[in-house]
Amino acid sequence: MARFDSAGADFQDMAATGSAEILFELGLVYSTGRNGVTDVVAAHKWFNIAAYRGLAEAKARREELAVEMTREEIAAAQRAAREWLTTH
């Protein structure tokens, strides 16, 4: 799996490719704060979509992250994932 440098990256363009590996990478970017901001809702969203696209590692990361999240955060991430999937 290729890793990318998130500095100056256009995340929307990357996500639009629909690649499970790139979607997983976006989850990593947001879960670790590689872009300067840790956002567990965004991370869960991207891991969820990557898992939906068949990447088992994304499912495991999503489950690990969910342990640290509130029910409201998880619900927000799931809504965001559904919204993204309906438009892509």
Residue ranges covered by each domain of the chain: 11-87
Q: Are 48 and 78 in contact (CB under 8 A)?
A: yes
- pLDDT at position 67, please? 97
Q: Do 48 and 17 form a contact (C-beta atoms < 8 A)?
A: no
Please give the model's pTM, rounded to 2 decimal places. Answer: 0.83
In this prediction, residues 26-53 reach a mean pLDDT of: 93
pLDDT at site 1? 44
Residue 11 has pLDDT above 90, yes or no: no
Q: What is the mean pLDDT of the chain?
A: 87
For the chain, give the secondary structure using H, E and C: CCCCCCCCCCHHHHHHCCCHHHHHHHHHHHHHCCCCCCCHHHHHHHHHHHHHCCCHHHHHHHHHHHCCCCHHHHHHHHHHHHHHHHHC
**CB-based burial label for 52 (10 Å; 0-12, 13-18, 19+):** middle
8: pLDDT strictly greater than 70: no
